Every structure is written in structure tokens, then in C-alpha cells.
Structure 1
Amino acid sequence: MLKDSQGLEVTTNSPDAIAAINHFVDQSLSYGNDAEAILQGIAADPTCVIANAHAAAHYLSLESAEAKNQAAPYLQAAKKYLSQANEREKLYVYGISAWASGDIDRAIAYHEEIAEKFPRDIASVQRGQYHYFYLGDKEGLLNIAEKVFFSNRENHYLYGMIAFGLEQCHRLKEAEEWGRKATEMNRHDPWAHHAVAHVMETQGRLDEGIAWMENLSDTWENCNSLLYTHNWWHIALYYLEKEEIKKVLKLYDTHIWGRAWKESSKDQVGAISLLLRLELRGVDVGDRWQNIAPYLAPRIHEHALPFQDLHYVYALARAGQNDQVTKMLLSMQAYAKAAKPFIKRTWDEVVLPAARGMVAHARTDCHRAIAQLGSTLPRLYEIGGSHAQRELFEQVFLDAWLRTEQNHEALQLVEQPLAACNNLHSDKRKLTLNVNNLELTIKVDRAVHRPEKASQSY
């Protein structure tokens, strides 16, 4: 039995398998583009349980039906040789198996147990954070990383993981400190860069955010498409708030959709959300919806993550794919009906009405959008995603109010963000509302309104 770079025992006698495991863990934590190198470890020792489990986890993280099928043989192999594995390896396999079965609560429980018993297993902690994130459990996301900190004080990746958890818990000052510390320890830590980007966006520090991210962007060239495009997506949001629309469209065409792995669910979601944000600003995005739509057909019946489904169905509606929209809504209803108890209520009470509301907005049926989306807003955290990502659905709801001239209700909706702005940086962006022919410019942390005909075309 050998040990990996974290000092964890691995059931194998193959140094090549250990080398591949070490490389995979580093690639996973750094969001690198060479995670499939774990397959070399399996080639070196086909009986290595943890190598097979890592391969399965890698494919499951792609969140597609095809990737789930790719994960299956590796998970089967891990289970086949499970009797020879040690306790940590067994717990990890149980966690990945629960993930594959959609039992996310059980998966989290196994990763929590690993964090308690084997705190040096940062890859397992990362899996736990991933699940907490898509459940909208920000406290869990932070806690699982914090509990292993004293066993990993030298690991800059963990600093970045804690930074993101702190940001999601609205502990912005601490989050920035941890993210900057991680970057000082290793400049090539894109997740730490990402955590600080969230802080600066929340605080309206647009120019600082652009400088921070663009000065580090050279280190993202070896990232996988997910984090490469996502970090550039954050840069695009800064420019969007500065109303530099041509710059945003250029970033979309070069660094976001232009560099995307177009079959990737997460790359698709990033592109969709940016197009919608542009339209809410009155920008004509041309044929970009139609360019995305062909890649969404395989998503109609997947339902890997509800957060993603809301983006897909909106994009299909904006692209005029009405038959596919109908199929997807029916498929979502069927999925909700058969959903596991752990998620069924969220699907019934949040996901389905939100999906109908998003489709209604895409079709400019704003009264229906208001009726469907309104009840979901207080519980949108249950669909997962970050604050910055979920903010989009609030913008859509507010846009619907504005487009139906329900300005009184729209003003009520922005009261809370407006109050929050009083405690934030002075560079917060502004929202202009027209109330009884009186134009009001309000400092607020979002700005929306897509007119019937786009006012800007690029």
C-alpha cells in the first residue's frame, strides 16, 4: 500500500497509479484541463478503487446524460474491487455512487464523514462543496472546508475554497482576505480569483474587479472550459455594469461562447445567462440564441440540475424552439413527479413554476411570468448556483413588472437591494424607473428592462 501526495493511504502497489491520482487531484482542485489523466492510473492498476472512483466523479461533474454513461463503468469497477479498499476509499466510493443515483443528501453525508476522519482528503471536500453549492446550502459549503483547515494550512486551494464559502455567506471582507491569501500563496489558483471577483462585484468595485481578473487571466489558459469561460463571464459582468456593451459582446464571442466546449452544460449556462442579461439591457443579441439552441436538444430530458434547466428552457424559448420548449416542460413535470423525496418539494414548488415563468418572460407574456415567478423568489436558493447567478431570475421578475407598468410593485421589489446599497461601495450601478411619467434613478445592485424592440444593435 502506497501513499498519495496528501499522505493518504491508497490501495495499490503501482507508483504510476499514485502519480496519476496526484495529478488528477491537482487538476481537479485547479480546474485544469487534464483531469482525464486519471485514466492512466487506471491503466497502470485497473483494480485501484480510488482511481476508478475519481474517474467516475470526473464524468459525473460534467452533468450530462452522456457523461453519466461514461462514469458508469468506472463506478462499477470501483465497486467490484471495493472489498480490498481501505475505509476512506470505501466512503468515497459510497459518496460517488450516491451522487450517481441522485441521492445527494447521502453523498454529502459520506463526504462529511471523510472530512471528519480523513481531513487531508481535499478532493472529497471539493465534492462536498459542489453538492452543497447546488443545493443552495451556503453554510454547509463553508463549514465542510473550514473543518479541515487546520490539517491543511499549507494548501492554497483550501484557502480559495474557504474564500468562496465566506463570500456566499456574505462575509465579504473575510472572503477577500482568504482569496487574496490563496493567490499570494500560488498565483495559479483560478477558484481563489473567482471568489474575490464575487466580492468585488457584490460591492460594485467594477474597475478593481476588472483589473484583478484581467491581470490574472493569463493563468487560466490551462483551465478547463468551465472555469476559463466562467471567470471571463465575471469580467463581462463588470463591463456590462459599466455599460460597455460592445466589450461584453466581444468577450462573449471570444472568451465565453467563443472558447466554450459547446457540449458542456455549464458553458452553455454561462452563455445563456449573459445573453439574457444583455437583452434585459435592451441589447439586440442578433442570432446568438439560435447559435446556442442546437446544443440544447440533448438537455431536454436530462434534469441534472434544476438551475441549469431554467436556463435551457429559457434559451429554447428565445430561439423560437416552441416544440422543444413544450417537450422540456412536460419532461420536467414528469421528473418532478418521480423525484426523490429529498428534492421533490423543491421541484414541485420552485423549479416548475420558475420554469413556466421563465418561458412566459421569454415569450413576453409578462403577466404570466409575474404570476409564476413571484412565489419562487424567496426560495430560489434551493435551485443552487451563486448569488451572482441567481440574481438573474430576480432581474427577470423585475423586468416583467416594469414591462406591465406595475411600477409600485417594482419599487417595492427594489427596496431591499436599495437599502443594502447604502452599506456598500459608492460605485453601485443604477436602476432607472419611470413612475407616473417621473423618471427616478435609484442606486441598486441590479439594472433591468428589455423593451419590446431592442434599442441597441451590435
Structure 2
Amino acid sequence: MPASSALRDCQAWKDAKLPLSTTSNEACKLFDATLTQYVKWANDKSLGGIEGCLAKLKAADPTFAMGHVIANGLVLIGTGSSVRLDKELDMAMKTMVELSKTQPLTPREQLHVSAVETFAKGNLSKACDLWEEILRDHPTDMLALKFAHDGYFYLGYKEQMRDSVARVYPFWTPDVPLSSYVKGLYSFGLMETHFYDQAAKLAKEALSAEPTDAWSVHTVAHVHEMRAEYKAGLEFMQHSENQWKDSDMLACHNYWHWALYLIEKGDYEGALTIYDNHILPSLQRSGTMLDMVDSCSMLFRLQMEGVSVGQRWQDVLPVTRPHSQDHILLFNDAHFLMASLGAQDRQTTQDLLTSLQEASESPGENCQHLLARDVGLPLCRAMVEFKDGNADRALELLLPIRYRIVQIGGSDAQRDVFNQLLIHTALNCTSSAYRNVARSLLMERDALKPNSPLTERLIRKAAAVHLM
């Protein structure tokens, strides 16, 4: 993290051709400090963390429009709150928009205001278009690049996530602050579009420049996961742990990847130890959406493998239950549902489904609510049917949407929980019409991810019931 003296003041932002409409050097430096911590996925205690920087930024210049943009944008990008549910956020958004109308902002700043305002309405795709408009003229605008990257991730727009960075990558020369982290962003997009060798090479270049770059560690972890290279993955995570464990916003997710290797290997006790020592404590400490979905996904995977998780769902549910009717991201909704199903909380399950149905009936321009009817609701209902032992009905719901689940966002590794759900559902079907579905799915998985011990276990399970 840069020392306070290295943070950019008004003139430095002008020199970077990214002028900020404020006369406060302190506000400019605090904007830089907040942006830097966001990019690095870490709260810097010496700077007061992101929240501390935002509070000081507001005090330094209460009318600084880009200060309001980054503050509101970070709340929205966290997907734990929305203007529909949070009156304070709604008021903050209105204040941002009103300020933008009373000041001679640059066209770039006005686009930032519009993009965050659009994102708040749930129109993530249009918001990304506005950030891209900024990047065409200002390719080193890190806030636009990172917000677009995260927006594409939530939409499941894998190619856009890759190409957005590719278009500006040549402009991020080593003298530009945070340039090594752009390698990490680009490597992740390459990995998600299956350019695994290029992704790993670029991520390792980023780590050579900045060993504590937890996002580039994350890309390498994904490459090993997608190739079922659990031995190499475990070795990499163990050797690099000291470099990324203090990245408080991403460390839990990297431990989740570590645990996935152990599940792949069949070391369930090892995976649960990672969960108990790192993932659950992080969830209870932070309450962030990423920690919630990691906790839910891991326990759900283990249960599908036939592993008893004891009372662990009871620890997760109090954190997820208050968000069960948020409906900000369908990806989040599906994971909250795992928690209510796992904890056998039928009321919360029903409330989630009913309120999601209502959201789908009046979607407005909210892309997630528009997608709920055709993808989100069938997925959630299939999970309930699977839990209730109605595998045939669950498969009827899952098969038509299996290639659309990417639209709920997340990574290939994260969405693999739904691929596994589909296979386990097929394995438990009783109808003769579905008899060969499990076999077909397993042959497909084995071809795409050869040498996977998890797949081999599933094949043996299918063979035991004469499906292979």
C-alpha cells in the first residue's frame, strides 16, 4: 500500500489526465487511498481502511462528486444493499445526483455518476456500457475498469470481462499506479474464457511485481481448479499463504479454493478444517456476500458428496437469513437458499421463493429480476425439489436452464456447484426416461475435466446403480 505521501493530489490526477473536480488535495489523496484498497482487496489499517478513508474524504470535501461516486459504487458493488431496501443508500444516491447537477463536472465524471445511478437501478449491463464509454477516452481510469470488471462478473459476461481489460491493457505501463494489478484483472478474464496457460503466465507476472496481489493468486487457484490439478493447487496455496492471508476481503475466498482442492482429493476432514478455521470465522466477522456464498457453496458441495456437516448450517443461517428477500443478485439468492434448506428452515425458504416470484412479476429495468422468471426461479425450485427427494422433478427444472445458469454470474468454479447438483439429481432419478442422463453428464464432465478424482467418484456411484 502506498504511503500517504505517495497518494495522488489534485495536480497528480490532472497529470494522469484524470482530473477530479475538487480543490482539496486531501480529498484527492483519500479518493486514491480508497481506490487502491478496493483494487488490492485489502483494508489498510495505516490508512484507516476503506470506511475510514471514505469518512475522512467526505469531511475533506462534502461536495466532491467523485467521492460520492466511489462511496456509493462500493456499497452497490458489494451486493449486500440496494436503494430499494436501504433508505440511507437511496438518499446518498439522490445526493450524488443532485451534486452532479450543480457542479461543472468533466464529461468523464458525469459518466461515472450516470453509471453508478444506472447500476443502482439494477441495469448492470447499461452501467457497464457507460464505464466502457469512459474507458474509450480514459483507458487508465481504474475505477471505471474495476467497476466494469465486477459488473461483467455479476452478469456472467465472461468475454466482456476479458476484452474490457484487453482494450486498455497496452496503456497500463509500469509507471502508471496499480498497473501490475491490471495484469491480475486481465488474467482472470483469460482464465474464465479458458485461456489457462496465458492466464497463469500473466498472473505470475503480476505476482512477481507484487507478491501480495491476492487477486492474481486467485487466478492461479482457478487455473488449477479448472484442470483438477489439486496437488499443484494445494502446493501453490500453501507456499503463497503468507502473501495473501492478510488480504482481508479476499483471503476467505482463497481459503475456499484451498478447500475445493481437498474436496476434489476426497479429504473431507481437511476441507472442514479449512472451513472451521478460516471460512466460518471470516463470515461471522465480515458478513460480506462473498463470504456468505463461499460458506454456503462449500457446505452444499460436501453434503452432495454425502458428508455430514453437523450443525454448521445453523451457524450460517443467521447471517444469510436477513438477506433472503434482498434479490440483488440471483447468484446470491441461490446460495441463501442453500442455507435455509440446509438448516431446514422452511419458512425462510418459502419467503425467499415467494418474494423472488413477486420481484420477477414487476422487474422494471432490473436485469436480475428480468432473469428470475426463466432462470432464477427454476433453479431455486429445483434445489427445493432435490432437497425434498423429488429428483425427477428437479431434473425437469434444471435441464432446460443448464446453459443459461452462466447468466446469474459468478465464476466457472463457483457455478460448478450447480453442475454437480445436476449430476447428483440425475443419479437419483427413478424415471426410465432419465436413466441415461447421468451417464451422459458424467461422460461430458470427464471429457472436459479429465483426471478428476471427484468425477471418478461420481462415475463409481453411477456404476453402482448400473447407470454406467
Structure 2-normalised TM-score? 0.88
Change (3 A) 1:307 1:46: same
Q: Which has the higher strand share?
A: 1
Deviation for aligned residue 1:318? 1.9
**Which position in structure 1 is the counterpart of 2:410?**
385
**Which position in structure 2 is the counterpart of 1:447?**
none
Residues 177-204 of structure 1, C-alpha deviations (whole Å, 9 max, x = no match): 1111111111111111101111111112
Correspondence for 1:213 among 237, 250, 255: 237
Q: Following superposition of structure 1 onto structure 2, how do residues 94-113 of structure 1 map, counting pairs within 5 Å?
A: 94-113=114-133
**Which position in structure 2 is the counterpart of 1:19?**
29
Mapped pair 1:254 → 2:274: no
Change (3 A) 1:315 1:426: closer
Mapped pair 1:432 → 2:455: no
Correspondence for 2:141 among 121, 124, 127: 121
Change (3 A) 1:320 1:440: closer
Correspondence for 1:31 among 38, 41, 50: 41
Alpha-carbon distance between aligned partners in 2 of 1:317 and 1:428, rounded to the nearest angstrom: 24
**Which position in structure 2 is the counterpart of 1:10?**
20
Correspondence for 1:264 among 278, 281, 288: 288
State the secondary structure of the residue aligned to 2:173. coil
Change (3 A) 1:66 1:411: same
Alpha-carbon distance between aligned partners in 2 of 1:370 and 1:267, rounded to the nearest angstrom: 29
Q: Does the CA-based 8 Å contact 1:2-1:10 persist in structure 2?
A: no
Q: Does the CA-based 8 Å contact 1:91-1:111 persist in structure 2?
A: yes
Correspondence for 2:66 among 50, 57, 61: 50
Deviation for aligned residue 1:140? 0.6
Alpha-carbon distance between aligned partners in 1 of 2:266 and 2:168, rounded to the nearest angstrom: 42
**Aligned-pair identity (%):** 27
Gaps of 5+ in 1: 442-458
Gaps of 5+ in 2: 1-9, 44-48
Mapped pair 1:320 → 2:344: yes
Alpha-carbon distance between aligned partners in 2 of 1:125 and 1:117, rounded to the nearest angstrom: 12
Correspondence for 2:297 among 258, 273, 282: 273
Change (3 A) 1:233 1:69: farther
Mapped pair 1:78 → 2:96: yes
Give the aligned residue type for 1:89: E
Deviation for aligned residue 1:438? 7.1
**Which position in structure 2 is the counterpart of 1:452?**
none
Q: Does the CA-based 8 Å contact 1:358-1:373 persist in structure 2?
A: no
Deviation for aligned residue 1:428? 7.8
Deviation for aligned residue 1:160? 0.2
Alpha-carbon distance between aligned partners in 2 of 1:311 and 1:382, rounded to the nearest angstrom: 15
Correspondence for 2:438 among 410, 426, 435: 410
Alpha-carbon distance between aligned partners in 2 of 1:426 and 1:408, rounded to the nearest angstrom: 21
Q: Following superposition of structure 1 onto structure 2, how do residues 83-162 of structure 1 map, counting pairs within 5 Å?
A: 83-154=103-174, 155-162=179-186
Correspondence for 2:75 among 42, 55, 59: 59
**Which position in structure 2 is the counterpart of 1:446?**
none
Give me the CA root mean square deviation: 2.2
Q: Does the CA-based 8 Å contact 2:169-2:182 persist in structure 1?
A: yes
Deviation for aligned residue 1:39? 2.4
**Which position in structure 2 is the counterpart of 1:395?**
420
Give the aligned residue type for 1:383: I
Give the aligned residue type for 1:40: K
Deviation for aligned residue 1:393? 0.7
Residue-pair matches, total: 438
Deviation for aligned residue 1:310? 0.8
State the secondary structure of the residue aligned to 1:18. helix
Alpha-carbon distance between aligned partners in 1 of 2:462 and 2:229, rounded to the nearest angstrom: 29
Change (3 A) 1:45 1:395: same
Change (3 A) 1:282 1:104: same
Give the aligned residue type for 1:60: L
Q: Does the CA-based 8 Å contact 1:47-1:77 persist in structure 2?
A: no
**Which position in structure 1 is the counterpart of 2:380?**
355
Residues 353-397 of structure 1, C-alpha deviations (whole Å, 9 max, x = no match): 101001112233222211222211111111111001111111111
Alpha-carbon distance between aligned partners in 2 of 1:11 and 1:438, rounded to the nearest angstrom: 68
Alpha-carbon distance between aligned partners in 2 of 1:438 and 1:323, rounded to the nearest angstrom: 35
Q: Does the CA-based 8 Å contact 1:317-1:363 persist in structure 2?
A: no
Change (3 A) 1:200 1:436: closer
**Which position in structure 1 is the counterpart of 2:193?**
169
Q: Does the CA-based 8 Å contact 1:28-1:123 persist in structure 2?
A: no
Alpha-carbon distance between aligned partners in 1 of 2:24 and 2:239, rounded to the nearest angstrom: 41
Change (3 A) 1:106 1:436: closer
State the secondary structure of the residue aligned to 2:460. strand
Deviation for aligned residue 1:144? 0.9
Alpha-carbon distance between aligned partners in 2 of 1:344 and 1:328, rounded to the nearest angstrom: 13
Q: Does the CA-based 8 Å contact 1:49-1:77 persist in structure 2?
A: no
**Which position in structure 2 is the counterpart of 1:203?**
227
State the secondary structure of the residue aligned to 1:52. helix
**Which position in structure 2 is the counterpart of 1:445?**
none
State the secondary structure of the residue aligned to 2:247. coil
Alpha-carbon distance between aligned partners in 2 of 1:327 and 1:337, rounded to the nearest angstrom: 16
Deviation for aligned residue 1:266? 2.0
Structure 1-normalised TM-score? 0.90
Deviation for aligned residue 1:344? 5.2
Q: Which has the higher helix share?
A: 2
Alpha-carbon distance between aligned partners in 2 of 1:434 and 1:200, rounded to the nearest angstrom: 25
Deviation for aligned residue 1:148? 1.0
**Which position in structure 1 is the counterpart of 2:3?**
none
Alpha-carbon distance between aligned partners in 1 of 2:389 and 2:342, rounded to the nearest angstrom: 10
Alpha-carbon distance between aligned partners in 2 of 1:322 and 1:438, rounded to the nearest angstrom: 31
Residues 83-102 of structure 1, C-alpha deviations (whole Å, 9 max, x = no match): 32212111111111111111
Alpha-carbon distance between aligned partners in 2 of 1:116 and 1:74, rounded to the nearest angstrom: 28
